[in-house]
Amino acid sequence: MRNSKNVSKYLIGKGTFSQLATLLADRQEGYHVYLIDIFFESKNLNLPKRNEDVLFFVDTAHEPTTSYINELRDQIFAKKTNLPTAIIGVGGGVTLDTAKAVSNLLTNGGQAEEYQGWDLVKKAGIYKIGIPTISGTGAEASRTCVMTNYKTGLKLGMNSEFTIYDQLILDHELTQTVPRNQYFYTGMDTYIHSFESLAGRHRHALSDAFSIQSIELSRQIFDSADMMTEENREKMMVASYLGGASLANSFVGVVHPFSAGLSVVLGTHHCIANCITMRAMEEFYPKEYKEFWKMAEKQKVTIPEGICRNLNAEQYQKLYDSTVIHQVPLKNALGENFKEILTLEKVTEVFKKM
């Protein structure tokens, strides 16, 4: 039985971002590393950054790679000879995961790819603060940080209790400027991984409670007239946190493996890939399929269609391979013999439905 770790502390509510300076007050010695979503490059975030601090804008056009994490470490050590006293990640899932990975790598040494897996991180990372500016991935609360190693093809995070944030700031003022489609795609990540978890064979009483509440909040948000009201953005912060907290002790199902296939083969980003996958999920999750499309329609969101209809045999084989490789969630959803259900023919048919 796994010992579950919670995020240590959190500030929640409108305007809490302004408390960042206070949180750093007793870490004034040494320097801080800011990892900021490139979305904010031209905006004034009013960061409490001092001259000695180091700031990187995180390019979110691509999901984090192990070589990118190593490179950030190298860039920090090109400027500094000692370790920072805090790392602050401000952004979406990519940025939050990047901050977690850099924090672990700085104290543990070696290369990022050495920590891809379960409980390979041996030491606590640098004290880290996570500040989401878009909600849904649950990266702020989860015990992993997804990274792709292009040398080995492995897409796997540093799954460790040390990966969990020491401090969160959940300020829904920061999500005001998110584009509407992106808000929906990302928000739906928590709805999707929560229903996958609840439909799976693996049970965990507390994760179940978190997932149920995350879905309930998602319904309130996306079944309302406007998913982006202030009240809904605050609820979305909570839904995302609960979904992430749930994930630490539960497993996803059919959606995420297919979605990962899209990401690996076609380079589709995680959250939009989930939504595209939902086009083909009626037979696996009939109730949620109906609900998802009702919500997408209500929020007038555009979800790409037909991106897998005219691929060649080699591409379908690659999609198949990069889907069925996710044995843990597929066993959770479909049982030990999931490959009898998910044949190459079946998987191809599912991708064509998207």
Interface positions with a copy of itself (CB under 8 A): 1-13, 15-16, 19, 23, 161, 167, 170, 204-206, 208-210, 212-213, 216-217, 234-235, 237-239, 241-242, 249
Taking the CA atoms of residue 258, residue 232, residue 242 and residue 172 in that order, the dihedral angle to the nearest 10 degrees is 110
| 335 vs 330: CA distance, rounded Å | 7
In the complex with a copy of itself, the residue whose CB is nearer, 238 or 342, is 238
Interacting residues of 143 by C-beta distance below 8 A, sequence separation 6+: 5, 159, 160, 161, 163, 164, 248
149 forms bridges with which residues in the sheet? 154
| Alpha helices in 26-92, H assignment, sequence order | 66-79
Q: How far is the CB of 15 from a copy of itself (least distance, A)?
A: 8
Burial degree of 216 (CB within 10 A; 0-12, 13-18, 19+): middle
Least Cβ distance, residue 239 to a copy of itself (angstroms): 8
Of 142, 145, 140, residue with least CA distance to 103? 145
CB of 236 to a copy of itself, least distance (A): 10
Kindly give, in sequence order, each residue whose CB lies less than 8 Å from that of residue 220, ignoring residues fewer than 6 positions away: 232, 235
Q: In angstroms, rounded to a whole number, what is the distance separating the alpha carbons of residues 324 and 260?
A: 10
* Smallest gap from residue 338 Cβ to a copy of itself (A): 25
CB nearer to a copy of itself: give 15 or 267. 15
Contact 90, 128 (CB under 8 A): no
Residue number, 66 or 144, with CB nearest to a copy of itself: 144
Q: What is the DSSP track for 291-307?
A: HHHHHHHHTT------T
Shortest spacing between CB 211 and a copy of itself, in angstroms: 10
CA distance 4 to 271: 26
Choice between 128 and 270, CB closer to a copy of itself: 128
Give the shortest CB-224-to-a copy of itself separation in angstroms. Answer: 15
Least CB distance to a copy of itself at residue 284 (A): 26
Residue 142 or 323: which CB sits closer to a copy of itself?
142
Tokens of 189: 């990540």
Q: Given the complex with a copy of itself, which of 11 and 342 has the nearer CB atom?
A: 11
